[in-house]
Structure formats: structure tokens, C-alpha cells
Amino acid sequence: MISLSKAEKSYIQAGILGDPPHRSDGRDLHDFRTVALETGVAPLSNGSARLTIGRVLRGGGGTEVLAATKLEVEDMKAGGVDGGRIVCSVTCSPAAYPHLSSGALEDLQYDMTMIINQTLSHPSLHPSNLSIVKGQKSWLLNLDLVVLSDAGNVHDALFMAARAALWDTKVPRTRSIEYKAAAANRSAGGMEIDDASGLDTRQQPSMADFELHDFWDEGEPLEGREVWPVSVTLNLISPMHYLDASAQEEAATPLRLLLAFSFSPSGTALQGMRVLGVGELDAKTVKQGIEDGEKYAREIYTALNAKLKDEDVRRNQKASHRFARR
């Protein structure tokens, strides 16, 4: 958190509590800065996205986050989980937090990793197509996020980037193959054994493996990619709250309520909730916050989905364009 003088803090707080409220850059309380998003930025990953909030034109500034997923084959015997698992990690570039020591930076990374990992690897969100060979092999999905610069509201940026990268993730098509030792090998003594015998309890030496289909589009999207959550951070200056705080506004806000919602046809679920900062929060504020937060999150969700579909179209066009030029 950047340092701010008492006068700057009270200027920001008085502006937000004023009537009508005023923010330091003239936005309304519930306006976001411009969010720029691009998927498919890392060619070697299975899905990737780059997201900035509040970057001024071609110039710099703003919060910037990169997200990428990589699928890895995991064996059950080597500690894998049947049906696959998801592991998320967040790394912060030291350039994003030049005022933090390396120890403090690690703490911050750990905090962000915990929030993202606990929300996204929850069983209720688990995609069903991460299994390769049942009981033997499955995909381990690594989601890595890098915070390249932080100009406020980094949590919402992380969740949006994570959602975009997961949306973009393609799981390679596989076909499982089972190898069985030939029956003849086992009946070495020349004795004929009926393979169909139900009494045969000897272990059948078998191997399961898989092969990859060769397709031009690199696979299928993750199952249930609609439900990946979006988060919204309510910055609380009692009794008001506002969205998408800049770094200065964050430093002047004592409490933030982070809510992660997932929307699916069957309904809305609150997937995660954190209170960031010091201070106390009464139950009424939390209740009201969840109600309002759901409304904002739905808007973010709708806008983000539209953008992700645009990105899919853009990349398909680009791919076919390049194909045609060959």
C-alpha cells in the first residue's frame, strides 16, 4: 500500500462521503476504469489472458495481470487425484511493489494465492473433463497469475484474468488405451486356463495409457466454463461503498469487502468472501454488501462474457486468416 498524507486521505474520504459524491478522477462511485483484455497471449500455455485496468491510452500506468494455464499429466500413484485437480498460484513482480521488502512481497503473494486457490479449486467448480484414464491418470491444471503492476483493485483484476484464462483453456482430446498381458504368457506351463472364469483372482498385469488425437484446434474447452467466478471488491467508507479503487483510494479506505460470485443457469452462488483491511464490519453492512455486490458482479459477468466471446471470434478469424495466407 502506497503512503499517503493525512490531508490526501481526508480529501479522498470527504469526496466520497460528499453529496453528490466525488472521486479523485471524476468517476461515479460504481464506475470501473477501462479494462483491456486479450486472450491467447502465451503460445505455450493451454489458455492465457492479459488484463489491464485503467491503463491510460498507449501510456503506462494501471493494474496489469497476466494469467496462464498449463495442463500436466498426473499419475494416481504419484499423488494425483482421480478426476484431476486445479492448483493456482499468484506471483507479484517486485517492480509492481517497489516499496515492499522481499519478505513482505512473499506474504502478499501468499495472501493472493490463498484467495484465488481456495475459490477456484473448490469442488463445486471442478470441471468434469480433467480425467484421462479413470483411476489411473488425470490432468493437473496449473493456473499461474503474475501481477506486473498494481494501481489498485488487483483482486478483481486477478479474478477476471483467471476467468479469462480458464475460459480460454483447451483440454487436449485423448483416447485411453489399455494394455493387457497376453493370456498365453501367463499359461506358461501349457495348461489351458479359461479366461472367463470368475474364480480367477490372480492379478491381471495391465497398463493404462492414452494417446492424443491430432486436431487443429488443440482440444475442447473446460467443461462448465460459464461458472468460473467473478469477484467484486466493495471499498467501504461507511456508510458508502465504491468500486474499482485506485491505489490512492485504496490507501484511504480502511475496509474492503471482496466477494466472488459464480453465475450459472441453476442460480447464483457466493463462492468466496474476504474482508481486507483493519476495522470492524457489522452484519447489516455485510448483508447489504452481498446484495449490492451480486448486482455489480452480474454486470461484470455479462460484460466479461461478451468480451470473451468477442475474443474467441477474433482469434478464430485471425487463425483462418493466417491459414488462408499460407
Partner 1 sequence: MITFTSFPSSPGGEYDAVRRHRETDNDMDVDFDDDDDFSSNRLRLTLPGDYLTSSQAFMRGHGTYVHEDQVVASVAGTVERVNKLITVRAIRTRYNPEVGDLVVGRITEVQPRRWKVDANSRQDAVLMLSSVNLPGGVQRRKLESDELQMRNFFEEGDLLVAEVQAFFSDGAMSLHTRSLKYGKLRNGQLVIIPPILVRRLKSHFITLPCGVDLILGLNGYIWVSRHIKASDQAGEEGFDAEAVYSNQNDDIDEPTRGAIARVTNIIHVLAAHFVPLTDTILLEAYEWSVEQEEANKGLFQEDVAEALVASLHSRS
Q: Which residues bind partner 1 (CB under 8 A)?
A: 3-8, 10-12, 14-15, 18, 20, 22-28, 30-38, 50, 52, 56-59, 61, 243, 248, 296, 299-300, 303-304, 306-307, 314, 322, 325
Closest separation in Å from C-beta 59 to partner 1: 3
Look up residue 273 and give its three cell numbers: 468472501
At 76 the three-state DSSP class reads: coil
Q: Which of 25, 54, 31, 4 is nearest to 235 (CA)?
A: 31
CA distance 295 to 298: 5
Half-sphere exposure of 224 (CA within 13 A, CB side): 17
Least Cβ distance, residue 117 to partner 1 (angstroms): 25
Which residue number, 68 or 130, has a Cβ lying nearer to partner 1?
68
Report d(CA 244, CA 61) in Å as an integer. Answer: 15
Question: In this complex, which beta carbon is closest to partner 1, that of residue 32 or of residue 159?
Answer: 32
CB of 106 to partner 1, least distance (A): 23
Distance between CA atoms of 165 and 45, rounded to whole angstroms? 10
Q: How far is the CB of 215 from partner 1 (least distance, A)?
A: 22
Q: Which is nearer to partner 1, 85 or 163 (CB)?
A: 163
Residue among 22 and 122 whose Cβ is closer to partner 1: 22
How near is the Cβ of 289 to partner 1 at its closest, in Å? 17
* Residue nearer to partner 1 on the CB measure, 275 or 303: 303
The label of the residue with cell 484446434 reads 217
Report d(CA 175, CA 81) in Å as an integer. 19
Contact between 224 and 167 (Cβ < 8 Å): no
Residue 203 and residue 221: Cα distance in Å, rounded? 37
CB of residue 31 vs partner 1: minimum separation in angstroms?
6
Longest CA–CA span in the chain (Å) reads 95
* Least distance from partner 1 to the Cβ atom of residue 178, Å: 42
Please say which residue, 186 or 315, places its beta carbon nearer to partner 1.
315
Nearer to partner 1, 174 or 248 (CB): 248
Contact status, residue 151 vs residue 54, Cβ threshold 8 Å: yes
Q: Helices 154-168 & 283-325, crossing angle to 10 degrees? A: 40
